Amino acid sequence: MTGIKIIATGAQAPKKIVTNDDLAKIVETSDEWISQRTGMSERHHVEGEENHTWLAEMAAKQAIERAGIPKEKIGVVLVCTVSADYFSPSCACIIQGRLGLSNDIIAMDIGAGCSGFIFGLETIRALMMARNAQYGLIVGAEVLSKKMDMTDRSTCVLFGDGAAAAVVELAENSYTSVIGVSGDEEMINIKSPDGFIHMDGQGTYKFAVATVPKVIEQVVEKAGLTYDDIDHFVLHQANLRIIESIAKKVKQPMDKFVVNIEKYGNTSAASVGLALDEAIADGRIRKNDKVLMCAFGAGKTWGAVVMEM
């Protein structure tokens, strides 16, 4: 078996919703300025007893319940994140314990920024094949509200908190991936565990609109498909303008692109999973649909996968 299939998803967002108008009370900005430039209207921030681990646990629990499989059969747990509650132990190890998963398991976190969910899918596939594990659990979870300088309007309006999870199964279905890195430490970074997000907005935009269309073309060609074969595009929700520019470059209608950035903002490694879960839950993505997921992020990372649902 060389492919994986997503059999169920789950998601969890904090209860607190932060609107553009709320941010306008903190920094010099406005609802019009943010929405026109990013497509964002609101995002979620943790408060009270909510934290990163809780978000990841709730999303993972929901995905497992929806999958309807014995949790003891999960052989790999990956949490994709740059904002875990602990430097050590990993969030994945905590999830294993809280959900009562098997002890005979690989559990670890991986950090690939906003490309995390795509890197996670490729990594969990390899680990499942190596261990002959039938099922795996991947979680993308971020609490970026703890990583923002709330006096910096160039970043504090962009990011939100949330988690999404998927139970995956080894399968002989269609699965194709393209992964890449062009190592960079300045475009987007968090320079210490207690540091804030720094992002070169213009540099990130240029990188995304130049790189993602090429990556999409590569993965579609590698899969032996055409754009018409792809039912849905689920891209990292960084900026609506970026998604619209990519749609134009690959000459595909926007109604094939899943967009929920207006509700969540940029949730980094949780972004693709949150969009995927929403589109499955509302019936847009159905069984046997071909879905192309693609993301880009810190370190100048990028990745895309084509999967049959």
Mark whether 266 is an active-site residue. yes
Residue corresponding to tokens 């540091």:
195
Query: Is the pLDDT reported for residue 1 higher than 70?
Result: no
**Using 50, 70 and 90 to split pLDDT, how confident is the model at 308?**
very high
Predicted confidence at residue 106, as pLDDT, reads 97
Checking DSSP bridges between strand 135-143 and strand 161-171, what pairing results, if any?
antiparallel
Interior angle at CA 210, CA 208 and CA 215, nearest 5: 80
Name the token pair of 41: 């209207």
Name the token pair of 242: 């970026």
Query: Is the pLDDT reported for residue 298 higher than 90?
Result: no
Mark whether 132 is an active-site residue. no
Amino acid 104 reads: D
d(CA 205, CA 229): 28
Over residues 4-54, the pLDDT tens digits come to 999 999 999 999 999 999 999 999 999 999 999 999 999 999 999 999 999
Q: Radius of gyration over alpha carbons of the chain, in Å?
A: 18
d(CA 144, CA 123): 23
Q: Which of 20, 189, 239, 266 is catalytic?
A: 266
Q: Which residues contact 6 (CB under 8 A, 6 or more apart)?
A: 166, 167, 168, 276, 307, 309
Name the token pair of 105: 């398991």
Over residues 118-169, the pLDDT tens digits come to 999 999 999 999 999 999 999 999 999 999 989 888 889 999 999 999 999 9
Q: Which of 114, 156, 232, 294 is catalytic?
A: 114
d(CA 217, CA 223): 10
d(CA 89, CA 94): 7
Q: Which of 189, 236, 239, 294 is catalytic?
A: 236
> pTM (2 decimals)?
0.95
Q: Which residues contact 15 (CB under 8 A, 6 or more apart)?
A: 44, 47, 50
Mean pLDDT to the nearest integer, 85-107: 96
d(CA 283, CA 299): 34
Over residues 214-258, the pLDDT tens digits come to 999 999 999 999 999 999 999 999 999 999 999 999 999 999 999
Name the token pair of 171: 């399968």
Bigger pLDDT: 172 or 257?
A: 257
Judge whether 173 and 133 are in contact, CB under 8 Å.
Answer: no
Over residues 186-213, the pLDDT tens digits come to 777 777 788 888 888 888 889 889 999 9
- HEC letters along the chain: CCEEEEEEEEEECCCEEEEHHHHHCCCCCCHHHHHHHHCCCEEEECCCCCCHHHHHHHHHHHHHHHHCCCHHHEEEEEEECCCCCCCCCCHHHHHHHHHCCCCCCEEEEECCHHHHHHHHHHHHHHHHHHHCCCEEEEEEEEEHHHHCCCCCHHHHCCECEEEEEEEEEEECCCEEEEEEECCCCCCEEECCCCCCEEECHHHHHHHHHHHHHHHHHHHHHHCCCCHHHCCEEEECCCCHHHHHHHHHHCCCCHHHECCCHHHHCECHHHHHHHHHHHHHHCCCCCCCCEEEEEEEECCCEEEEEEEEC
Judge whether 297 and 114 are in contact, CB under 8 Å.
Answer: yes
**Using 50, 70 and 90 to split pLDDT, how confident is the model at 84?**
very high
